[in-house]
Amino acid sequence: METSSKINNAIYDSLGERWYTAYDDPIALLRAENRIKLPWIVERVTRQGFKNPHILDVGCGAGFLCNELSEKGYQVKGIDISEESLAVARKYDKTKLADYQVADAYKLPYESNSFDVITCLDFLEHVDRPQDVIKEIARVLRPEGLFFFHTFNRNIFSWILIIKAVELFVKNTPKDMHVIDLFIKPSELIDYCEKNGMEITEMTGIRPKFSTIPLSSYITGVVPESLEFQLTKSLLLSYLGVATKSRMN
């Protein structure tokens, strides 16, 4: 899959067990975020009334979301270009039922209208052409299916807090883990979805709950196990959302 030369996506190949165990690494922030994303997604999947929904996670990494969804009894497939990450995902899949596959998000290896739910979390800001990834997602999503996303807004505040502050306060933050040029404004994501027959019905911001971060963490560079994230009305930094595919597509 074509990725930007600006961003360092190779870092995920070398994390190994640290995907699930490290706290001296920004991957711990992703694990903490997942604890608030998962119930938000499950609630909306349940509300939609699917019976045994078929779920695809695009850019699944080491399977944080897939493995949790599999434990809840869903049929889950996860795709990523990193075989090393997928090996970790399989190892931590307690159910051994999640289906992991190396695949290109620009050319999903599935027939049209194959999935009831597609998730794409913390991935769209890692590719040059997110609109083309969304086009493929819309193709393989069934009419009235749900598309869940999480990404970062592009502005000076997200550059300061999501890129520079993480580099400053979290140990082992690699260079170019995120680049501001690839962040996506909510208005742009709305446009990408609408052009592919999907309507965004809900978006919510996510931010750290600063009261759960001990002052010592800013000195040690270690992400505290106590860290929690919370939902917020503001989409200024990062945002989680869901779109529904039209019946006509």
For the chain, what are the domain ranges? 9-245
Lowest model confidence (mean pLDDT) among 1-5, 91-95, 180-184, 236-240 = 1-5
Residue 120 clears pLDDT 80, i.e. is over it:
yes
**What pLDDT is attached to residue 7?**
85
Residue 105's nearest CA partner among 89, 122, 88 is 122
Output the pLDDT for position 6. 84
Is the overall model pTM greater than 0.85, yes or no?
A: yes
Tally Cβ neighbours within 10 Å of residue 19.
23
pLDDT band at 4 (very low <50, low <70, confident <90, very high): very low
Mean pLDDT of all residues in 136-146:
97
Is the predicted pLDDT of residue 249 greater than 80, yes or no? no
Mean pLDDT, the chain, rounded, equals: 95
> Which CATH code fits 9-245?
3.40.50.150
